[in-house]
Amino acid sequence: MEPSRDIQRLLDIMTALRQPETGCPWDVVQTFETIKPYTIEEAYEVADAIERADMDDLCEELGDLLLQVVFHARIAEERGDFDFGNVVEAVTRKMIRRHPHVFSRSGAETPEAVKLQWDAIKQAEKHERRERRARRGLPDDPLHGHLGSVQRSFPALVEALKLQERAARVGFDWSEPAPILDKIEEEIGELREALAEGDSAAVTDELGDLIFALVNIGRHVGADPEMALRGTNTKFRNRFSHIEESLAANGESLEAATLERMEELWQAAKTIERQLLR
């Protein structure tokens, strides 16, 4: 079998991999649940390639993510639920329906109007989905209520941001950043108390409240908390690498270095960063 630009070749490859008698022993035994972590991982690797502006990696990672879609669709087809064609049909139907201003030349003409129209169409789709599930005898739509569209499977920071954004649409929100800073200080105080009491459950609870408040201040000042934290993670990686490389250049090791020595090199890394930004 040869590589191809045709999506059908990828579908054929997945079919071959999943054949019980002649396929790959690993691929044959996979399920939705077992490959779910890989699907999430591939999405993060796409994001990483974008952040690094590495187009070679981005092309490859997008292919890996597409493979996950094909994998899930093949498992569903074997179960008689749906196939890849149904996936494509569903998303094309959705895109056409949600963009009447493009495909029927009617409706929204500004980005703000598009957003309002998109939300209205999504609400109509949710209503139709509930009716469809009822006709099939399925439980009520699990994504119910005003916050129902926020998936619990999101990373916690993303979920917190989206919950706050949804609540803000109906006015449940701070009017400015200053009160949120007060809330953050309040949460820090409660975390201090929990730490002083040695209550691990309370510490976990208060830490969650503090992080939630930090996400809120980020939202209000236009700083995506996920991206902000990823930026800090990158800084930490770079500074720690400087520590490691500096120690090695002097015949020292991480394991033998004192905290004071590592802090000295950490500050040196920060100085280098500031010089590079000038």
Q: Which tens digits make up the pLDDT trace of 185-238?
A: 999 999 999 999 999 999 999 999 999 999 999 999 999 998 899 889 999 999
The confidence score (pLDDT) of residue 22 equals 96
Rounded average pLDDT over 76-85 = 97
For the cut 80, the answer to whether the pLDDT of residue 121 exceeds it is: yes
For the cut 60, the answer to whether the pLDDT of residue 143 exceeds it is: no
For the cut 60, the answer to whether the pLDDT of residue 141 exceeds it is: no
pLDDT band, residue 93 (cuts 50/70/90): very high
For the cut 80, the answer to whether the pLDDT of residue 81 exceeds it is: yes
Rounded average pLDDT over 72-101 = 94
Q: What is the pLDDT of residues 1-50, one digit of tens each?
A: 788 999 999 999 999 999 999 999 999 999 999 999 899 999 989 988 99
HSE toward the beta carbon, residue 128, CA cutoff 13 A: 7
Q: What is the pLDDT of residues 157-184, one digit of tens each?
A: 989 999 999 899 889 999 899 999 999 9
Q: Mean of the per-residue pLDDT values for the chain?
A: 91
Q: Which residues contact 74 (CB under 8 A, 6 or more apart)?
A: 11, 14, 15, 18, 83, 84
pLDDT band, residue 136 (cuts 50/70/90): confident
pLDDT band, residue 140 (cuts 50/70/90): low
Q: What DSSP assignment string belongs to the chain?
A: ----SSHHHHHHHHHHHT-TTTS-HHHHT--HHHHHHHHHHHHHHHHHHHHTT-HHHHHHHHHHHHHHHHHHHHHHHHHTS--HHHHHHHHHHHHHHH-HHHHSS-S--SHHHHHHHHHHHHHHHHHHHHHHHHHTTPPPPSS-STTTTS-TTS-HHHHHHHHHHHHHTTT-S-SSHHHHHHHHHHHHHHHHHHHHHT-HHHHHHHHHHHHHHHHHHHHHTT--HHHHHHHHHHHHHHHHHHHHHHHHHTT--TTT--HHHHHHHHHHHHHHHHHHH-
Q: Which two tokens stand for residue 154?
A: 């999101």
Query: Rounded to an integer, what distance in angstroms lies between the CA atom of residue 145 and that of residue 165?
Result: 14
The confidence score (pLDDT) of residue 142 equals 56
Percent of all residues in the chain with a pLDDT value above 90, rounded to a whole number: 68
For the cut 70, the answer to whether the pLDDT of residue 144 exceeds it is: no
Query: Rounded to an integer, what distance in angstroms lies between the CA atom of residue 121 and that of residue 104?
Result: 15
pLDDT band, residue 151 (cuts 50/70/90): confident
